[in-house]
Every structure is written in structure tokens, then in C-alpha cells.
Homo-oligomer: A and B are copies of this chain.
């Protein structure tokens, strides 16, 4: 039986980094992956800029100025933000200037208006300044040619704002991952339908759908399929023409209705592995069909959930080129005991500031409710034979 790390490594090799590029409006690009360098074509700001409302002057003309001994300068013009002044400032001259306006040529500082008499033709200045006081130099934020954002950056609010400051309205991004999800099982009915005896509602499909949405990926296809191998094979045939990755739940064990083995055979897909030496989710089955990996998770709610996180997310990291889609692994100190051992186990937990605790409630593979509020999976190795409060463990952050 494959070890967890082997299974993960094998699955990661089945997917390829997405290279296709599309152009989207900048405002829609939050969460997308940049497919070009964000390179500055102009300095920012493109001119020396006034950081306040006042008078642009030559610092040498303010030498010795104070409230008691003002210096008088001739006001030769007025500039609001968005305007430019023709000409330049000479000795003894000032220009009325507003925040954000370009400091005119010849001036090297701006006197705050509160330190003047607000003069219109002639202004009295009450303050001595040095050159480049109250002066935002051209290129203060960045300079022409600076690469502000590297290709493959995930775009967040700050990077969107920076790209806007570069003047970008459309931006090149890599296309989104295309993931198809299918739940199986005759016992499973979709929410909203009547629950007949022996049936349960489909939570696995919604777990996968909801978690992918949380991760910023809207599945391209989601459906439930009964235990009909031909029908399931047809769904996979169809989705393999579109998706980067197909995920199913259920039908992977050894029973007579564990259809996924037959589906893989029917499709003549290449089986990669069946069974991984881990709990939950040991019967995970993986195959490749028409170049597309098909990963078939346990039908047990916690088994499907844990193996989506532990085995599928590393594949999404490979698709996108970003560790953000994988789980961060950290060491933590156990706050609670856990007695089961014998196999590599992953149990739900809550991590905070280097410590991790196991929630109260039933931790069985069929139980989903105790996963509420959890933010990690705790790994218990076979060698550990359970862990005690104070022991160091590895946790995988959800």
C-alpha cells in the first residue's frame, strides 16, 4: 500500500502548471494569477508632487523667514492638482499650489499655507524651509522600469491598486483551474429531495463545492451520479475533455456497489493507485484518463474531506504554481491527548499560536459535525502510537 507522501508525490506529477493566458478587466482580477510582469512605464508620481496646500518656492528665498520677520514673494501663478504650470519659478517668486499638483520647475519646496498670509499677488511666508522639505520627488513610489509585481503573483487588493496606478485597465492572468466534482452512491440524494428510508443527503458534493469556492475556485461541473458504472464512465468521458482534474466521492471500497473500479476499467484509464496507508480515506483510488487525473475519494464524509485537503490540494498547487492552494504545514504542541495509533492518522483539530487541540465530539470518519470550527488536520504517525498533551505534532492548516 502506498504511503501518504508517495501518493501525494505521484498525484502532483499528474497535473501540469496552467499556461493559458486570458485578459480580464483589472477590477475582476482579484484572486487571479498574474501572467505578465507588472512593470512601471512611467515614474510614480510622474512629476515632483506637492504633499500639501501652500506655495511652491525656492528654499533659499525662505532663509531667515519667521512670523516676526516674514519674507515677501511674488505670486506668479496658481496650480491645482491635475494642472501644470507653463514656465518656472525664479528668485523671489512663488506659485500657489494645491495638494497633488506638480511642483513647478525652479521650486524645491512647498510652504504650508497656514505658514503664510494666503497672499494672492504677493505672499508673506513665515517659515524657513530646506530644499526638498514638503516635496514628494518624482518616482517616490516607483521608477520607470521597476518590476512591481512578478509574473505568477496572486493579485490582492494592494496589487490591483498598484496595477491601476500603472494605468492597466485590462490585465493578463492565467486561466482558472477547471475542476469537475461528482458524488456517487445510490443511497445519496441531493438536498431538497424527499429522504426515503435507507437514504442520506449528499454532503460530500457540497463539501467539495464549498471548499473549492472558499479557495477561490468555482467548480466547472458538479453532479451526483447513482451507482451506475456506464453513466459514471460517460460523465468522466465528457468532463475529461474540459477539466484539469476530476474528483469523485464514494464507490472506492471493496463492496459489490463500489463502482469506481469498474468505471476505471470501462474507461481503460490508467490506474495510478488504490489504497493509501492513512486514516481516514485509505481506499482512495487514482487514475488518469485522456491525460486528466481522476481522483476518487472515500464516500465517508470526513474521509472525503481529509483526502481532498491532503491529496487534492497539492494537485491544485501544481496546477496554479502556488503554495497558497496547498495546506501550510506547521509544528504544534498538543493540548489534548489522543490514544489511537498503529497507522498514519489525520484528525481534525484547532490550531492557534503554536498549540493545537482536538475538538470534543465524535471523530469517526462518518461524522462531519465535529469538523465545524476546526482549522487544521493533525498528523499522528504510526510510530507515535497516539500522542499526549505536550507532544510535538505536525499540523496541516485548512
A-to-B contact residues, CB < 8 Å: 26-27, 30-31, 42, 44-47, 49, 51-53, 79-84, 98-102, 113-114, 136, 140-142, 146, 148-149, 155-170, 185-188, 190-193, 195, 197-207, 209-214, 222, 227, 253-258, 299-301, 305, 353-354, 362, 364-369, 371-372, 374
Besides A159-B372, A164-B201, 4 more A-B contacts (Cβ < 8 Å) are A31-B214, A81-B227, A157-B213, A158-B207
A141 contacts B369, CB within 8 Å? Answer: yes
By a CB distance below 8 angstroms, the chain B residues around A362 are: 140-141
By a CB distance below 8 angstroms, the chain B residues around A136 are: 364, 366
B149 contacts A30, CB within 8 Å? Answer: no
A157 contacts B211, CB within 8 Å? Answer: yes
Instruction: Report which of B157, B200, B257 forms a contact with A207, defined as CB distance below 8 A.
Output: B157
Instruction: Report which of B51, B53, B165 forms a contact with A201, defined as CB distance below 8 A.
Output: B165
> Which of the listed residues A31, A83, A193, A206 has the most CB atoms from chain B within 10 Å of its own CB?
A206
Give the shortest distance, in Å, between A43 (CB) and chain B (any CB).
10
A160 contacts B200, CB within 8 Å? Answer: no
Give the shortest distance, in Å, between A237 (CB) and chain B (any CB).
24
Q: How far is it, in angstroms, between the C-alpha of A53 and the C-alpha of B299 when the chains are bound?
A: 13
Interface on chain A toward B: helix, strand, loop, or mixed SS? loop
B257 contacts A301, CB within 8 Å? Answer: no
A167 contacts B191, CB within 8 Å? Answer: yes
By a CB distance below 8 angstroms, the chain B residues around A204 are: 161
B149 contacts A364, CB within 8 Å? Answer: no
Instruction: Report which of B52, B169, B190 forms a contact with A169, defined as CB distance below 8 A.
Output: B190
With contact pairs A158-B368, A168-B191, A366-B49 given, residues A30 and B253 touching in the complex (Cβ less than 8 Å): no
B98 contacts A255, CB within 8 Å? Answer: yes
By a CB distance below 8 angstroms, the chain B residues around A52 are: 253
Q: How far is it, in angstroms, between the C-alpha of A140 and the C-alpha of B45 when the chains are bound?
A: 63
A187 contacts B82, CB within 8 Å? Answer: yes
Nearest 5 pairs of A and B residues by beta carbon:
A169-B192, A157-B210, A53-B255, A82-B187, A157-B211
Q: How far is it, in angstroms, between the C-alpha of A142 and the C-alpha of B255 when the chains are bound?
A: 26
With contact pairs A27-B206, A98-B255, A161-B301 given, residues A195 and B46 touching in the complex (Cβ less than 8 Å): yes
Give the shortest distance, in Å, between A377 (CB) and chain B (any CB).
12
Could you pull out 18 A-B pairs where Cβ atoms are within 8 angstroms? A45-B366, A47-B197, A53-B255, A81-B198, A81-B257, A83-B186, A99-B299, A100-B187, A100-B200, A101-B187, A136-B364, A140-B366, A158-B210, A158-B371, A162-B203, A162-B372, A167-B191, A170-B192
Closest B residue by C-beta to A197: B84
By a CB distance below 8 angstroms, the chain B residues around A46 are: 195, 197, 199-200
> Which of the listed residues A161, A186, A366, A369 has the most CB atoms from chain B within 10 Å of its own CB?
A161
Instruction: Report which of B30, B148, B369 forms a contact with A142, defined as CB distance below 8 A.
Output: B369
By a CB distance below 8 angstroms, the chain B residues around A203 are: 161-162, 164-165
Closest B residue by C-beta to A42: B195
Q: How far is it, in angstroms, between the C-alpha of A185 and the C-alpha of B82 when the chains are bound?
A: 8
By a CB distance below 8 angstroms, the chain B residues around A374 are: 158
Q: How far is it, in angstroms, between the C-alpha of A96 and the C-alpha of B234 when the chains are bound?
A: 30
Q: How far is it, in angstroms, between the C-alpha of A163 and the C-alpha of B191 when the chains are bound?
A: 9
By a CB distance below 8 angstroms, the chain B residues around A42 are: 195
